[in-house]
A = this chain, B = another copy of it.
Amino acid sequence: MINKLIEKIKKLEAPIIVGLDPMMKFVPGYIQKKAFDEFGETLEGAAEAIWQYNKGIVDAICDLVPAVKPQVAMYEQFGIPGMIAFKKTVDYCREKGLVVIGDIKRGDIGSTSEAYAVGHLGKVTVGSGSFYGFDEDFVTVNPYLGSDGVEPFVKICGEEKKGIFVLVKTSNPSSGEFQDRMVEGKPLYELVGEKVAEWGSACMGDEYSYVGAVVGATYPEQGKALRRIMPKTFILVPGYGAQGGKGADLVHFFNEDGLGAIINSSRGIIAAYKQEQYASYGETGYADAARAAVLAMKEDISGALAGR
């Protein structure tokens, strides 16, 4: 799947992911109204609204980007109906040929991590059959529990030719609270980065590993250091746009081959119609506004990469 992701990035000339993090306040009123008319102001109604909203965006951007990243929390908050909307979104995006990165940030120990890996990337055995639970292509994984927590995911990645992105240095303001603490002369995130490179060496695609890393766009200097520590690791970079990251900050996340990183934008794309710049699209044009925002992001990043 890392090979497929890279192939699509090259073909589309777009190292870009759209984050499908549908907050209700982003969903245009007319979509909410239609969903509530059919299902009431209920969890089912909310789930229908976010699903229809997603579908519009996916249809508008699926020929421009290699991958999408649904954030499961935004679905899980609506209970079972929300989880059904998550699964519908994953399945629909895969049908459209998009690589799907489930932003689930799971992580546990031993057989429990294996259950997450099986449920999101692999197949679970039931009697004499086996079934995909959620069936994403990649998922994000939290490393706090150490190798016991990550290796069951790596094992399933090898079996299914799928991948993970392990949290190394996250994009949020307080990420340094633990991740930046100095351990034997280097910050904890570098130690985690070294482990990611080690886990990944056991699970290589053609050029890059099936085991990637998450490093926030908001920390370009740390990205530069981590790029060196993990040369064969694909870096998923959140924090572009709404969180403050810009194209020029991102060049150091890429290798000399122009690969090795993929930049995520969520609300900057899916809620573009709420920005002054794209306001003329109006709420009924929210999907076209998302498409315009993807094109602008692509240009920003290409420009920054060409100019380095």
Q: Which residues of A contact B (CB under 8 A)?
A: 21, 23-24, 32, 36, 41-43, 45-46, 71, 73-74, 76-80, 82-84, 87, 105-113, 115-116, 118-120, 124-129, 131-134, 142-149, 167, 170-179, 181-184, 188, 191-192, 195
Contact = CB atoms under 8 A, between A and B. Distances in A.
A148 B21 CA distance: 18
Contacts of A173: 148
The 10 closest A-B pairs by CB, nearest first: A41-B127, A79-B133, A146-B177, A146-B174, A77-B119, A109-B172, A73-B115, A77-B115, A181-B183, A144-B144
- How many copies the complex holds: the figure is 2
Contacts of A142: 105, 107, 142, 144
B148 A167 contact: no
A195 B177 contact: yes
A299 to B, nearest CB: 28
Contacts of A46: 124, 126
A116 B181 contact: no
Contacts of A78: 119, 124, 126, 131, 133
Contacts of A149: 172, 174
B116 A77 contact: yes
11 contacts: A45-B126, A73-B113, A73-B116, A77-B124, A105-B108, A145-B170, A146-B174, A148-B174, A149-B172, A178-B191, A183-B188
A135 to B, nearest CB: 8
A125 B77 CA distance: 10
A35 to B, nearest CB: 10
